[in-house]
């Protein structure tokens, strides 16, 4: 019987250092880890909250365009060692985020709403209509 590898949660700062390389020592350590994740030698989970923080940091602090952010994160989410119960929802949210002028959190809610068949309470009917999510006003 083979022992299953432990899954680690990953913090925003690891992904930011990996993508931006602006602290060379930390960027090198992050790159080594992510190479292991890419090849399935390490398992990590990137939570939806961490994904939202990564996007906010890249968008607001580093001024990275939305399409580039989405493409980079979709690449990371394709790594063999990425695990987690919301992986499919986050991937769909990233696709919506890349193709609409809508915040990631709303894209995440829309993706989760569709997958789980759960309507969203919102006052923002315009964005959720664009995202084809089931919504209601309270």
- Confidence at residue 4, expressed as pLDDT on a 0 to 100 scale: 72
- Maximum alpha-carbon separation in the chain: 52
Q: Return phi, psi of residue 83, to 5°.
A: -125, 175
- Confidence at residue 124, expressed as pLDDT on a 0 to 100 scale: 86
Q: How far apart are CA 39 and CA 82, in angstroms?
A: 10
The reply to whether the predicted model has a pTM over 0.95 is no
* Residue 30 burial (C-beta neighbours within 10 Å; 0-12, 13-18, 19+): buried
- Confidence at residue 35, expressed as pLDDT on a 0 to 100 scale: 98
Q: Are 30 and 18 in contact (CB under 8 A)?
A: yes
Q: How far apart are CA 100 and CA 134, in angstroms?
A: 17
Beta-carbon-side half-sphere exposure of residue 24 (alpha carbons within 13 Å): 0
- Per-residue confidence of the chain (138 residues) as pLDDT tens digits? 556 789 999 999 999 999 999 999 999 999 999 999 999 999 999 999 999 999 999 999 999 999 999 999 999 999 999 998 899 999 999 999 999 999 999 999 999 999 999 999 999 889 999 999 999 999
Q: Are 55 and 97 in contact (CB under 8 A)?
A: yes
């Amino acid at each position: 019987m083979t022992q299953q590898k432990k899954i680690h949660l990953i913090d925003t700062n690891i992904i930011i250092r990996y993508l931006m390389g602006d602290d060379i020592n930390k960027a090198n350590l992050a790159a080594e880890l992510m190479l292991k994740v890419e090849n399935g030698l390490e398992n990590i989970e990137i939570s939806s909250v961490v994904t939202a923080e990564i996007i906010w940091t890249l968008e607001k602090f580093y001024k990275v365009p939305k399409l580039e952010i989405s493409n980079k994160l979709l690449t990371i989410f394709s790594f063999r060692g990425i695990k987690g119960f919301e992986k499919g929802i986050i991937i769909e949210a990233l696709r919506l985020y890349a193709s609409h002028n809508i915040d990631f959190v709303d894209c995440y809610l829309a993706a989760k709403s569709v997958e789980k068949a759960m309507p969203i309470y919102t006052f923002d009917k315009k964005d959720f209509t664009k995202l084809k999510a089931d919504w209601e006003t309270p």
